[in-house]
Amino acid sequence: MPEFPENATDILPETKTRLEKPKLFRVLLHNDDFTTMDFVVFVLEYVFQKPESEAVAIMLKVHREGIGVAGIYPYDIAYMKQQKAMNLAKAREFPFLVSIEEE
């Protein structure tokens, strides 16, 4: 706890606060045999704010390689986007899996 000056003439030493950058997390999309390619593109555009060309490229990577990175964010944002994507998939009865991993 900082000490308060006893007299009005006392000066408090200056302290420097050092902030660390938050850890970043990858939001990963996983391929399955039921979720449509159109829906994956829609999620990338709507939830992750990707332009159509980039969304299609990510969707094709997920389709061909089984997994793709939708974005890299601080944990709170990554978690919110993951939940939003999973809720959209659940509402449309797709078994779409979205996961988070530390970068």
Asked if residue 5 belongs to a domain, the reply is no
List the one residue out of 66, 56, 70, 62 whose CA is nearest residue 25: 70
Structural domains of the chain, count = 1
Asked if residue 74 belongs to a domain, the reply is yes
Contact of 26 with 69, CB cutoff 8 Å? yes
Asked if residue 94 belongs to a domain, the reply is yes
Q: Maximum Cα–Cα distance for the chain, whole Å?
A: 74
Q: Residue 7's pLDDT is what?
A: 65
Q: Residue 13's pLDDT is what?
A: 74
pTM: 0.80
* Segments in the chain below pLDDT 50: none
Q: Residue 87's pLDDT is what?
A: 97
Structural domain of residue 63, as residue ranges? Answer: 24-102
**CATH number, domain at 94?**
3.30.1390.10
